[in-house]
Structure 1
Amino acid sequence: MRNISSNLRYLRRSKGLTQQQFADLMEIKRSLVGAYEEDRAEPRYDLLKKFASFYELSIDDLINEKINEKWKPADRASASNIRVLSISVDSNDKENIELVPIKASAGYLNGYADPEFISELPKFNLPMLKQGTYRAFEIKGDSMLPLQSGTIVIGEYLESWADVKQGETYVFITKSDGVVYKRAGNRFKENKGIKLISDNVIYEPYTISAEDILEIWKAKAYISTVFPEPTPEPTMESLTSMMAQMQKSITQLQQGKN
C-alpha cells in the first residue's frame, strides 16, 4: 500500500517503541505489526484510522507521503480536513459508540485524540446504525428544544468540514464553547467559519471560526428519557381558524390568477 510499510516502521521508531509496545497500544498482535512494516499484509481501514490518530496524521498522509525526518506535516495542514480521531473496538473488532457524558465534556476537549482517554469512556453499540464512526454526546441546556437537557445525541464523524449542510444538526466540538449541539446556518467556508443556530428562538445565532473547531459530528439519532407530548385534539376554535386561513389562501391564489 504505497508508503504505508516504511512509514509505520519510521513512525514507530521515532517514538522509541518496540513492535510489541506498539502492538499493545493498538491492541493487536505483534506479528501483525511486523507484517505491516515488512509489506506482507495491509491494515484494515479501521486500523489505518487508529494508526493515523495515534501519530496525529491523516490517512492520506500515512498511506501516500514518504514520512521521514525531512517531512513537514504542517505544510499539508488544512482546516477543511479534520484529523482522524481515536476509536475503540469491541471483541468482534467492530467500532464502539463511545459516550461523552456532560461531566466528561470538558476533559474531551483535551482527550479527544488520546486513545487512552477514549478507551475509558462508556461504550455501546446500536445495530440500526450503518457502518461508520459514531460518538454519543450528552447535551445540556434548552437551546435545542424540544430536545431536553440530558438527551444523548449520536453523531457520525465528518472526515471533511466541507460535508456540513445548511439546515442540518451537528455536534460541534469547539475550543471556546466546548461540546455544542446546533443547526448549521451555512455550509463551511474556511474564511468565514460556520453560523450556529439554536432551535429555541430565544437564543441568537452566532458564528464560530475554523480555528475554533476541533471536530464535527453529524447528528444521526438521539436517546432520551423524556417522551414527546401527544398532539392535542383540535378544538372548534382551532378548526375555525384553520378554515379561515385556508379561505384566505384560496382567495389570494384566485387574485393572483386574475
Structure 2
Amino acid sequence: MSKQPLFWAANLKLLRTRKKISQQHLADLLGLNKYKITAQESGKTRNPRMEDLVLIAGYFMIDIDIMIKTDLSRIPEALLLELEAGKKIDLAGKHLRILPITVDDNNEENMEYVPARAKAGYRNGFSDPDFIAALPRFTLPELPRGKTIRMFPISGDSMAPIPDGSHIIAQYLEDWSMLKNNMPCILVLRGGEEDIVFKIVGNHIRQNGTLTLHSLNPNYATTTVAIEEVLEIWTFISYMSKQVPEPLAS
C-alpha cells in the first residue's frame, strides 16, 4: 500500500509567503521560535508537536487535515482564497448531504426520472422535497435495491457512441471521497451553461480539490471543475436509447 503524500511543509511556506510575512514575523505572531518555522518549512521536523500544528493551522484558518493531506499549490486560486478566508470547504467530499427522496407504499425508495422539461430547474430544485416529489417515477428490473437511483436525459454527442437523447440511469454518491477514478458519472453543477453533465470523471479531490471531465468523443477537450462547483454526483449504472448503435467499420 503506497504512503499518503504529506504537504505540511510546502503548504506552510506557501501560506506564509502569500501573507507576505517572514519566518521571524510568523514565529513572533505565534509565540514560537523562528527555527521551528524554518525546520517545519524545510521538512526537517518529521513529527511536529500537535500543539504547534493546531496553533499554525488555526492562524491560517485552515483545517489541519487539509494542511497535511492537500497540495494547496494545485488548488484553484478562487478556492484557495475561500480557504484563507476561513470558509469550511469540503475538499474531500465527505460531509453529509441531505437528499430528498420519495418512498412507495412499502417504504422503499422510488426511482425518479428527471425529464427534459425539468432538467433546467433541477439545479435549483434538487434539494426541494416538493420538486423531487413532483418528478415522474420509473421501475426497471435488475437495478440495485435500497439505493437512491435517478434517470437523467443527456443531449449532444460529447459521449458518443452513447447517442444524443439517451437516458442515463445512475446511483447517488454521498461520499465523494469514494469516487473511483475515471468513472462515468452524472454531475449536477452549480454554475455554467450546463447544469447537468455526463462525463468520465477523474478524481483529484484529495490532491487539489478538482475533478477532470473527459468525453468519449475525442473531438471534445478535457475540462476541469472545482469541487465547490459540484452539487451532486451520480455514478453510472446503465443507459437507455431509442437509437440502434452504428455498425462497426469493416
With normalisation by structure 2, the TM-score equals 0.59
2:187 to 157, 167, 172: 172
* Residue matched to 1:139: 154
1:140: Cα distance to partner? 0.9
Q: Could you tell me whether the CA contact under 8 Å between 2:89 and 2:228 is conserved in 1?
A: no
Matches within 5 A, 1:211-230: 211-230=228-247
Q: 1:198 to 1:93 in 2, by over 3 A?
A: same
| Deviation for aligned residue 1:227 | 1.7
- Which ranges of structure 1 fall in alignment gaps of 5 or more residues? 1-73, 235-258
Instruction: Tell me if structure 2 keeps the 8 A contact 1:170–1:181.
Output: yes
Post-superposition shift, 1:89?
Answer: 1.4
2:115 to 93, 98, 101: 101
Answer yes or no: is 1:115 the counterpart of 2:132: no
Deviation of 1:105 after TM superposition, in Å, equals 1.4
* Structure 2 CA distance for aligned equivalents of residues 155 and 203 of structure 1: 23
After superposition, give the CA deviation of every residue in 1:96-129 in whole Å (9 maximum; x if it has no partner).
Answer: 1111122211211011011100011110122311
Deviation at 1:90, TM superposition (A): 1.9
**How far apart are residue 94 of structure 1 and its match?**
1.7
Identity %: 39
Q: Does 1:206 align with 2:239?
A: no
* 2:212 alignment partner, SS class: strand
Provide the rounded CA distance (Å) in 2 between the counterparts of 1:88 and 1:221. 22
Name the CA distance, whole Å, in 1 between partners of 2:181 and 2:90: 21
Counterpart for residue 6 of structure 1: none
| Residue ranges of structure 2 left out of the alignment (5+ in a row) | 1-85
Q: CA deviation at 1:222?
A: 0.8
State the Cα distance separating 1:75 from its structure 2 match.
9.3
2:124 and 2:209 map into 1 onto residues whose CA distance is 25
How far does residue 186 in structure 1 lie from its aligned partner after superposition? Answer: 3.3
1:157 aligns with 2:172: yes
Structure of higher CA gyration radius:
1
Code of the residue aligned with 1:96 in structure 2: it is N
Q: How many residues align?
A: 160
CA-to-aligned-CA distance 1:202-258 (integer Å, 9 cap, x gap): 1110100011000000000111111223345x5xxxxxxxxxxxxxxxxxxxxxxxx
Deviations 1:167-191, CA, capped at 9 Å, x for gaps: 2200000012300000012343373
1:20 match:
none
Computed over aligned residues only, the root mean square deviation of the Cα atoms, in angstroms, reads: 2.1
Task: Give TM-score, length-normalised by structure 1.
Answer: 0.58
Contact 1:86 1:114 in 2 (8 A): yes
Q: Deviations over 1:47-74 (max 9, x none)?
A: xxxxxxxxxxxxxxxxxxxxxxxxxxx9
Give the structure, 1 or 2, with the largest relative contact order (CA under 8 Å, sep 6 or more): 2
Contact 1:164 1:187 survives alignment (8 Å): no
In the alignment, the residues of structure 1 paired with residue 123 and residue 152 of structure 2 have an alpha-carbon distance, to the nearest angstrom, of 13
| SS of residue matched to 1:103 | helix
